[in-house]
Structure 1
């Protein structure tokens, strides 16, 4: 009976963990981020990204929305160049659940234990990198990275990509602590 109560909680945890995005960023501490007001996409770099053109468009549209929300505008003579690149890898999860009663010998074979289930699932974990490059100096000044579970569900792709991009760009511009005098 305890197993039946435990299973819905486990499934809820698995579903919730699928929408989790891990986000990191790094930046050049000497850069003055207040000077960057305009941006453009770096076509030569984006063309090399090995994902579908539809997903590229989804990512670039999400970046556009987030940067415009921050008061930035697209320009032919930008302060920032934006580049993206992606990585993906297959994740395989094996979960074993035992149910039963009895005595046993530690982690070894237990003749008094019965029941048990093994669940195997796989998913694709993707990482999106967003690079912001000073257009004049041609130097990377900020990089954001977001890792999450990808989907082939067409109804959720826009939502997932928007979520990842939003969480990455929430860290731009970096909060720079004032130097102590």
Structure 2
């Protein structure tokens, strides 16, 4: 449970300029027809920190409102949920030998020792899913991920979350009105 709370904390630390964002969508969905949405809880583990849960929802709500969608408690044209996760990945850094491009003896390679360092880094990921309740199909999915950097300032965390969500929803809706 504490790991999930940490995952959400890390996700709030996503900096708007440094994270990787990706999205995909159902090309047959008519995004122009969606006017309302409702939240569902499709996370596998309940969130211990309700403040973080509200912050994530508030940030997504602001983005969707700016795109013309209105939040409702039930009967929405879309159903929205999120998941947060932290994974450990290996990072490799190398420092080459002496010389300029190609090193001494170019074009045959560099001369000197090459040093490779390995470290384990934690990567936080926040995934937003939007489902069409009529078809029960995923119509849009976006994710933001970043190497984690714990920030102690909650106001800064929230601003960073807002930046990440603005970047993620920048291209929403894709192909509005197209079928």
TM norm structure 1: 0.67
Q: Which has the higher contact order (CA 8 A, sep 6+)?
A: 2
C-alpha separation between the residues in 2 aligned to 1:60 and 1:117? 45
C-alpha separation between the residues in 2 aligned to 1:175 and 1:41? 23
Higher mean displacement: 153-162 or 63-72:
153-162
Contact residue 93 and residue 122 of structure 1 kept, 8 A: yes
Query: Aligned Cα RMSD in Å?
Result: 3.5
Question: Which of the two has higher C-alpha Rg?
Answer: 1
- Pick the structure with more helix per residue: 1
C-alpha separation between the residues in 2 aligned to 1:144 and 1:87? 14
For residues 36-84 of structure 1, the C-alpha deviation after alignment (integer angstroms, 9 at most, x for no partner) is 11111103x1473667433322211110110111121111321111011
Q: For residue 24 of structure 2, give the secondary structure of its aligned residue in structure 1.
A: strand
Tell me the number of residue pairs that the alignment of Structure 1 and Structure 2 aligns. Answer: 157
C-alpha separation between the residues in 1 aligned to 2:70 and 2:160? 24
Contact residue 90 and residue 122 of structure 1 kept, 8 A: yes
Structure 2: give runs of 5+ residues left out of the alignment.
Answer: 1-14
For residues 152-181 of structure 1, the C-alpha deviation after alignment (integer angstroms, 9 at most, x for no partner) is 2132321222122221112221136979xx
Counterpart check, 1:71 vs 2:68: yes
> Which residue of structure 2 aligns with residue 14 of structure 1?
none
C-alpha separation between the residues in 2 aligned to 1:79 and 1:29? 17
